[in-house]
Amino acid sequence: MATANKNLSDYDKATIPNASKFRFGIVVSEWNNNITEGLYKGAHDTLIENGVLPNNIIRWNVPGSFELIYGCKKMQEQMVNAVIAIGSVIQGETKHFDFVCQGVSQGIKDLNVMRETPVIFCVLTDNTMEQGIERSGGKHGNKGIEAAIAAIKMAELRKNS
């Protein structure tokens, strides 16, 4: 696993741009919500810790990870500086996992290529529920924190480009 011996929550706050003037959208999948809620908490708390005002964070829920694409597309229309897509897909016994992971990653990529507002990919694609739990606030930290830092950096890049 790529996160072995890593804590996803580690970052140097001194290297993070001032985020106090930015607005962020967070689109959260309700599927595997024991994982996605942990990711959301990590992202939300990190944005707040880095100066984002609570009323400058918009949260929308969608039923599953596949629906993140549409939710993020509509969120881009809300005058936000960046969007974070939060989801969790766990490997099952069928190819459904492959189709959902491929579709979501391609859809989020397409939003980044076709539109001006960056969308951060915070969709865990794990083999087991345990792996998802470990990466959403467990022993490997919280991928939501990493996504929030990426969102701040991309909002700054957009502002300066």
Count how many residues are written for the chain.
161
Looking at residue 7, what is its pLDDT? 66
Alpha helices, DSSP H only, in 11-124?
33-49, 68-75, 96-114
User: Would you write out the chain's pLDDT as a tens digit for each of its 161 residues?
Assistant: 455 556 657 888 899 999 999 999 999 999 999 999 999 999 999 999 999 999 999 999 999 999 999 999 999 999 999 999 999 999 988 888 889 999 999 999 999 999 999 999 999 999 999 999 999 999 889 999 999 999 999 999 999 98
Where does the chain show beta strands of DSSP type E? 24-29, 57-62, 82-90, 119-126, 136-138, 141-142
The Cα angle at residue 89 between residues 86 and 95, in degrees rounded to 5: 145
Q: Identify the three-state secondary structure at position 102.
A: helix
Burial label, 15 (beta-carbon count in 10 A; 0-12, 13-18, 19+):
exposed
Contact 90/31 with Cβ under 8 angstroms?
Answer: no
What local confidence, expressed as pLDDT, does residue 1 receive? 43
Q: Which residues are catalytic?
A: 96
Structural domains for the chain: 23-160 (3.40.50.960)
